[in-house]
Amino acid sequence: MYLEFLRQLDGIGIKALDPAQLTRPEKQFFGAYLAQKVVPLTDLIDGNEITELKTGALYFTADELQSLVRLPESIPRVLPIPGRGGAYVRLGALIRMRNDLFLPETSRLFEFRLVRLAQLAALEPIGMNCPKRSSHGLMAR
C-alpha cells in the first residue's frame, strides 16, 4: 500500500526520497537542520520514567526501550529538499539516519505515533485520492 502511494505521488510530480538518495551536501544541510531546529525541541525520556504518551506526537525508541525520543507536533513531518522541486524527505527517516544527534549512544531507532481510538473514528477513510490530498498539503508548505 505504501509503495502504491509513493507511485501515485510520483505520478503527480511529488518525489518522496529516502535519505540514502540524498547527495552529500543535502545530507549535511539536513544534519544541520536537525541539530539546530529539531534537537532543541525534542524530549529525551528515560524508559523508566515514561508515565504518559502525548497524542499526536512523533516518537522514536531504541531496540531496548531504554529511552523515547519525542518530537512535538509543531515540527513538519515532511521536508522539501532545497534545489529539487517537488522532492521531499520524511523527517522520521532523517532522524533515523542521524540518531547520534538524539541518543547518548548510537542505536537503531523505531518510529511510532500514538493515535487514540476516539481520534480514529474522526478520521475519514483513506481512499485512492489520498495522494492528491497529500499533494495539496505539501504544496501549501
Q: What's the pLDDT at 63? A: 67
The domains of the chain, with CATH numbers, are: 17-115 (3.30.1840.10)
- Asked whether 75 and 103 are in contact (CB, 8 A), the reply is no
Cβ contact 13:86 at 8 Å: yes
pLDDT tens string 27-57: 999 999 999 999 999 888 777 777 777 777 7
Pairing of strands 58-62, 67-71: antiparallel
User: Which pLDDT score, from 0 to 100, does residue 137 have?
Assistant: 52
- CA 89 vs CA 14, 21, 99, 104: distances in Å: 11, 10, 16, 25
Q: What is the pTM of this model?
A: 0.72
Mean pLDDT of the chain: 79
Which ranges of the chain have pLDDT less than 70? 63-65, 115-141
